[in-house]
Amino acid sequence: MMARMPILPSKPTDPAGVDRLERGAMLEFARRIKRCKEAYIDALGRIPGEPVVNKNYTFRLDPFLLTSVLAAAGLEVESQLQSGGPENVWFFELYVSAAYARGTAQQYANISQQSPAYSAGQDSLATIIRSDPYRRRVALVAAREYEEMQGLTGTVKANMSRILTDGIGRGLNPKVIAKGLTTQAGIEASRANRIARTEIPTALRRARLDEAEEAQERYGIASKEMHYSALSPTTRITHAKRHGNLYTIEQQREWWAEGANSINCKCSTITVLVNEKGEPVVPAIVERARQTEKIMKAKGRGPWATEE
Protein backbone atom coordinates (compact mmCIF):
# COMPACT_ATOMS: atom_id res chain seq x y z
CA MET A 1 0.00 0.00 0.00
CA MET A 2 1.35 3.44 -0.94
CA ALA A 3 2.34 5.54 2.05
CA ARG A 4 0.26 8.65 2.57
CA MET A 5 1.61 12.18 2.83
CA PRO A 6 2.00 13.81 6.27
CA ILE A 7 -0.32 16.76 6.86
CA LEU A 8 1.26 20.16 6.33
CA PRO A 9 -0.05 23.36 7.96
CA SER A 10 -2.91 24.99 6.07
CA LYS A 11 -1.37 28.43 6.69
CA PRO A 12 2.42 28.48 6.28
CA THR A 13 2.79 31.80 8.10
CA ASP A 14 1.03 30.33 11.14
CA PRO A 15 2.18 26.69 11.18
CA ALA A 16 1.01 26.12 14.74
CA GLY A 17 -2.43 27.57 13.96
CA VAL A 18 -2.74 29.49 17.23
CA ASP A 19 -2.76 33.15 16.11
CA ARG A 20 -6.39 33.62 17.15
CA LEU A 21 -5.80 32.02 20.56
CA GLU A 22 -2.81 34.29 21.12
CA ARG A 23 -4.81 37.41 20.23
CA GLY A 24 -7.59 36.38 22.58
CA ALA A 25 -5.14 35.81 25.43
CA MET A 26 -3.50 39.19 24.85
CA LEU A 27 -6.86 40.96 24.99
CA GLU A 28 -7.67 39.14 28.23
CA PHE A 29 -4.29 40.01 29.71
CA ALA A 30 -4.87 43.67 28.81
CA ARG A 31 -8.23 43.64 30.57
CA ARG A 32 -6.84 42.02 33.71
CA ILE A 33 -3.74 44.21 33.94
CA LYS A 34 -5.93 47.28 33.53
CA ARG A 35 -7.81 46.17 36.64
CA CYS A 36 -4.50 45.71 38.44
CA LYS A 37 -3.53 49.28 37.53
CA GLU A 38 -6.90 50.55 38.73
CA ALA A 39 -6.35 48.82 42.07
CA TYR A 40 -3.15 50.81 42.63
CA ILE A 41 -4.76 54.06 41.50
CA ASP A 42 -7.58 53.35 43.97
CA ALA A 43 -4.93 52.72 46.63
CA LEU A 44 -3.39 56.11 45.83
CA GLY A 45 -6.81 57.73 46.29
CA ARG A 46 -7.06 56.29 49.80
CA ILE A 47 -3.94 58.10 50.94
CA PRO A 48 -4.73 61.67 52.05
CA GLY A 49 -2.51 64.36 50.59
CA GLU A 50 -2.45 68.07 49.93
CA PRO A 51 -0.39 70.38 47.71
CA VAL A 52 2.28 72.62 49.15
CA VAL A 53 3.78 75.83 47.84
CA ASN A 54 6.56 74.23 45.80
CA LYS A 55 3.95 72.30 43.76
CA ASN A 56 4.80 69.02 45.50
CA TYR A 57 2.40 67.15 47.70
CA THR A 58 2.49 66.20 51.34
CA PHE A 59 0.88 62.84 52.04
CA ARG A 60 -0.45 62.17 55.52
CA LEU A 61 0.61 58.59 55.81
CA ASP A 62 1.33 56.12 58.56
CA PRO A 63 2.95 52.68 58.09
CA PHE A 64 -0.27 50.82 58.84
CA LEU A 65 -2.22 52.65 56.14
CA LEU A 66 0.51 52.10 53.54
CA THR A 67 0.72 48.40 54.37
CA SER A 68 -3.05 48.13 54.21
CA VAL A 69 -3.50 49.79 50.80
CA LEU A 70 -0.60 47.89 49.25
CA ALA A 71 -1.95 44.60 50.57
CA ALA A 72 -5.39 45.31 49.13
CA ALA A 73 -3.94 46.19 45.73
CA GLY A 74 -1.74 43.10 45.81
CA LEU A 75 -4.73 40.88 46.51
CA GLU A 76 -6.47 42.31 43.45
CA VAL A 77 -3.42 41.50 41.31
CA GLU A 78 -3.46 37.94 42.62
CA SER A 79 -7.18 37.71 41.96
CA GLN A 80 -6.76 38.88 38.38
CA LEU A 81 -3.66 36.93 37.38
CA GLN A 82 -3.93 33.75 39.47
CA SER A 83 -7.68 33.14 39.43
CA GLY A 84 -8.51 29.46 39.08
CA GLY A 85 -5.69 28.30 41.31
CA PRO A 86 -2.78 25.90 40.70
CA GLU A 87 -4.74 23.28 38.76
CA ASN A 88 -6.86 25.51 36.53
CA VAL A 89 -5.37 28.98 36.47
CA TRP A 90 -7.39 31.08 34.00
CA PHE A 91 -4.61 31.42 31.40
CA PHE A 92 -4.27 27.65 31.20
CA GLU A 93 -7.99 26.96 31.38
CA LEU A 94 -9.03 29.42 28.67
CA TYR A 95 -6.08 29.35 26.27
CA VAL A 96 -3.18 27.00 26.93
CA SER A 97 -5.28 23.87 27.45
CA ALA A 98 -7.06 24.64 24.17
CA ALA A 99 -3.69 24.89 22.40
CA TYR A 100 -2.56 21.58 23.89
CA ALA A 101 -5.79 19.88 22.82
CA ARG A 102 -5.46 21.36 19.34
CA GLY A 103 -1.89 20.09 19.04
CA THR A 104 -3.02 16.62 20.07
CA ALA A 105 -5.82 16.71 17.50
CA GLN A 106 -3.42 17.81 14.77
CA GLN A 107 -1.02 15.04 15.64
CA TYR A 108 -3.74 12.42 15.84
CA ALA A 109 -4.87 13.30 12.32
CA ASN A 110 -1.31 13.46 11.01
CA ILE A 111 -0.04 10.13 12.37
CA SER A 112 -3.34 8.35 11.66
CA GLN A 113 -3.00 9.32 8.01
CA GLN A 114 0.48 7.81 7.83
CA SER A 115 0.25 4.76 10.11
CA PRO A 116 -2.50 2.11 9.96
CA ALA A 117 -1.19 0.64 13.24
CA TYR A 118 -1.62 3.93 15.06
CA SER A 119 -5.00 4.56 13.43
CA ALA A 120 -6.27 1.17 14.58
CA GLY A 121 -4.85 1.49 18.09
CA GLN A 122 -5.90 5.07 18.79
CA ASP A 123 -9.49 4.64 17.72
CA SER A 124 -10.53 8.23 18.39
CA LEU A 125 -9.27 11.60 19.60
CA ALA A 126 -11.75 11.42 22.49
CA THR A 127 -10.09 8.20 23.67
CA ILE A 128 -6.71 9.93 23.78
CA ILE A 129 -8.06 12.92 25.70
CA ARG A 130 -9.68 10.65 28.28
CA SER A 131 -6.53 8.57 28.75
CA ASP A 132 -4.32 8.73 31.85
CA PRO A 133 -1.15 9.58 29.89
CA TYR A 134 -2.89 12.59 28.34
CA ARG A 135 -4.19 13.78 31.70
CA ARG A 136 -0.73 13.48 33.25
CA ARG A 137 0.79 15.49 30.42
CA VAL A 138 -1.87 18.19 30.75
CA ALA A 139 -1.30 18.38 34.50
CA LEU A 140 2.37 19.19 33.89
CA VAL A 141 1.40 21.97 31.47
CA ALA A 142 -1.09 23.37 33.99
CA ALA A 143 1.61 23.47 36.68
CA ARG A 144 3.94 25.32 34.31
CA GLU A 145 1.33 27.98 33.55
CA TYR A 146 0.54 28.55 37.21
CA GLU A 147 4.23 29.16 37.83
CA GLU A 148 4.21 31.66 34.95
CA MET A 149 1.27 33.49 36.48
CA GLN A 150 2.91 33.50 39.89
CA GLY A 151 6.00 35.07 38.35
CA LEU A 152 3.97 37.68 36.49
CA THR A 153 1.97 38.45 39.64
CA GLY A 154 5.12 39.04 41.65
CA THR A 155 6.57 41.31 38.98
CA VAL A 156 3.40 43.39 38.61
CA LYS A 157 3.04 43.81 42.38
CA ALA A 158 6.68 44.78 42.84
CA ASN A 159 6.75 47.31 40.00
CA MET A 160 3.41 48.95 40.70
CA SER A 161 4.14 49.17 44.44
CA ARG A 162 7.52 50.72 43.70
CA ILE A 163 5.99 53.45 41.52
CA LEU A 164 3.30 54.19 44.08
CA THR A 165 5.60 54.38 47.11
CA ASP A 166 8.35 56.24 45.21
CA GLY A 167 5.84 58.84 44.03
CA ILE A 168 4.47 59.32 47.52
CA GLY A 169 7.95 59.53 48.99
CA ARG A 170 8.93 62.22 46.46
CA GLY A 171 5.75 64.16 47.05
CA LEU A 172 4.64 63.96 43.44
CA ASN A 173 1.25 65.18 42.27
CA PRO A 174 -1.21 62.24 42.40
CA LYS A 175 -1.90 62.77 38.69
CA VAL A 176 1.79 62.24 37.96
CA ILE A 177 1.85 59.07 40.07
CA ALA A 178 -1.27 57.79 38.32
CA LYS A 179 0.34 58.46 34.95
CA GLY A 180 3.39 56.49 36.06
CA LEU A 181 1.16 53.58 37.07
CA THR A 182 -0.55 53.70 33.67
CA THR A 183 2.79 53.65 31.87
CA GLN A 184 3.97 50.72 33.95
CA ALA A 185 0.73 48.86 33.23
CA GLY A 186 1.58 49.12 29.54
CA ILE A 187 4.99 47.60 30.21
CA GLU A 188 3.40 44.76 32.19
CA ALA A 189 0.92 44.16 29.35
CA SER A 190 3.82 43.84 26.91
CA ARG A 191 5.44 41.32 29.23
CA ALA A 192 2.16 39.41 29.41
CA ASN A 193 1.85 39.46 25.61
CA ARG A 194 5.23 37.78 25.36
CA ILE A 195 3.98 35.09 27.72
CA ALA A 196 0.93 34.55 25.50
CA ARG A 197 3.02 34.42 22.32
CA THR A 198 5.39 31.95 23.94
CA GLU A 199 3.29 29.67 26.13
CA ILE A 200 0.38 29.05 23.74
CA PRO A 201 2.46 27.81 20.77
CA THR A 202 4.76 25.99 23.18
CA ALA A 203 1.79 24.02 24.51
CA LEU A 204 0.69 23.08 21.01
CA ARG A 205 4.19 21.99 20.00
CA ARG A 206 4.57 20.04 23.21
CA ALA A 207 1.31 18.22 22.56
CA ARG A 208 2.46 17.20 19.10
CA LEU A 209 5.80 15.93 20.40
CA ASP A 210 4.17 14.15 23.35
CA GLU A 211 1.77 12.29 21.07
CA ALA A 212 4.55 11.44 18.61
CA GLU A 213 6.56 10.00 21.49
CA GLU A 214 3.55 8.02 22.68
CA ALA A 215 3.12 6.62 19.15
CA GLN A 216 6.75 5.52 19.06
CA GLU A 217 6.55 3.80 22.44
CA ARG A 218 3.17 2.10 22.02
CA TYR A 219 3.18 1.20 18.36
CA GLY A 220 6.86 1.08 17.46
CA ILE A 221 6.42 3.81 14.87
CA ALA A 222 9.69 5.11 13.44
CA SER A 223 9.40 8.86 12.93
CA LYS A 224 11.25 12.14 12.97
CA GLU A 225 10.18 15.75 13.30
CA MET A 226 10.40 18.05 10.28
CA HIS A 227 10.92 21.60 11.47
CA TYR A 228 8.42 23.98 9.87
CA SER A 229 9.17 27.67 10.26
CA ALA A 230 6.62 30.45 9.80
CA LEU A 231 9.06 32.20 7.42
CA SER A 232 7.47 35.53 8.34
CA PRO A 233 9.16 38.96 8.39
CA THR A 234 10.02 38.48 12.09
CA THR A 235 11.37 34.93 11.73
CA ARG A 236 14.86 34.59 13.18
CA ILE A 237 17.55 33.40 10.78
CA THR A 238 18.44 30.47 13.03
CA HIS A 239 14.80 29.35 12.97
CA ALA A 240 14.43 29.70 9.21
CA LYS A 241 17.56 27.62 8.62
CA ARG A 242 15.90 24.62 10.29
CA HIS A 243 12.91 24.69 7.93
CA GLY A 244 12.45 21.34 6.19
CA ASN A 245 15.16 19.57 8.21
CA LEU A 246 14.47 16.37 10.16
CA TYR A 247 15.29 15.91 13.83
CA THR A 248 14.55 13.42 16.58
CA ILE A 249 11.92 14.32 19.16
CA GLU A 250 14.61 14.82 21.79
CA GLN A 251 16.70 17.02 19.50
CA GLN A 252 13.67 19.20 18.86
CA ARG A 253 12.80 19.46 22.56
CA GLU A 254 16.40 20.38 23.40
CA TRP A 255 16.54 23.06 20.72
CA TRP A 256 13.38 24.77 21.96
CA ALA A 257 14.76 24.61 25.52
CA GLU A 258 17.94 26.46 24.54
CA GLY A 259 18.22 30.18 25.25
CA ALA A 260 15.38 32.22 23.80
CA ASN A 261 14.47 29.77 21.01
CA SER A 262 10.93 29.20 22.29
CA ILE A 263 10.21 32.86 23.12
CA ASN A 264 7.88 34.46 20.54
CA CYS A 265 8.49 31.43 18.31
CA LYS A 266 5.82 30.59 15.72
CA CYS A 267 7.55 27.45 14.38
CA SER A 268 6.04 24.01 14.55
CA THR A 269 7.04 20.48 13.58
CA ILE A 270 5.52 17.84 11.33
CA THR A 271 5.90 14.22 12.40
CA VAL A 272 7.16 12.25 9.43
CA LEU A 273 7.40 8.46 9.27
CA VAL A 274 10.90 7.30 8.32
CA ASN A 275 12.49 4.08 7.07
CA GLU A 276 15.35 2.11 8.65
CA LYS A 277 17.83 4.66 7.28
CA GLY A 278 15.99 7.54 8.95
CA GLU A 279 14.76 8.87 5.61
CA PRO A 280 11.15 10.02 5.04
CA VAL A 281 8.86 7.26 3.79
CA VAL A 282 7.31 9.97 1.63
CA PRO A 283 10.30 12.07 0.43
CA ALA A 284 7.98 14.56 -1.28
CA ILE A 285 7.10 16.05 2.11
CA VAL A 286 10.56 17.62 2.37
CA GLU A 287 10.35 18.89 -1.19
CA ARG A 288 7.04 20.57 -0.45
CA ALA A 289 8.53 22.28 2.60
CA ARG A 290 11.49 23.46 0.52
CA GLN A 291 9.18 24.78 -2.17
CA THR A 292 7.28 26.83 0.40
CA GLU A 293 10.59 28.24 1.59
CA LYS A 294 11.55 29.24 -1.96
CA ILE A 295 8.23 31.01 -2.48
CA MET A 296 8.46 32.93 0.79
CA LYS A 297 12.13 33.77 0.20
CA ALA A 298 11.32 35.21 -3.22
CA LYS A 299 8.98 37.65 -1.51
CA GLY A 300 11.88 38.96 0.57
CA ARG A 301 9.99 38.54 3.83
CA GLY A 302 12.48 39.52 6.52
CA PRO A 303 16.25 39.27 7.12
CA TRP A 304 16.24 35.47 6.85
CA ALA A 305 15.20 35.75 3.17
CA THR A 306 18.48 37.46 2.23
CA GLU A 307 20.63 34.73 3.78
CA GLU A 308 22.47 32.48 1.36
User: How many CB atoms lie under 10 A from the CB of residue 168?
Assistant: 19
- Residue 306: the pLDDT is 85
Torsion 280-282-283-288 (CA) sign: negative
pLDDT tens-place values along the chain, 308 residues long? 556 899 999 888 899 999 999 999 999 999 999 999 999 999 999 999 888 877 789 998 888 999 999 999 999 999 999 999 998 999 999 999 999 999 999 999 999 999 999 999 988 999 999 999 999 999 999 999 999 999 999 999 999 999 999 999 999 999 999 999 999 999 999 999 999 999 999 999 999 999 999 999 999 999 999 999 999 899 999 999 999 999 999 999 999 999 999 999 999 999 999 999 999 999 999 999 999 999 888 887 788 888 76
Greatest Cα pair distance in the chain: 90
Q: Report which residue type is found at 4.
A: R
Amino acid, res. 49: G
CA distances in angstroms from 135 to 149, 188, 194, 228, listed in the order given? 21, 32, 27, 27
DSSP letter string, 61-89: --HHHHHHHHHHHHHHHHHHHSTTTTTS-
pTM above 0.75, yes or no: yes
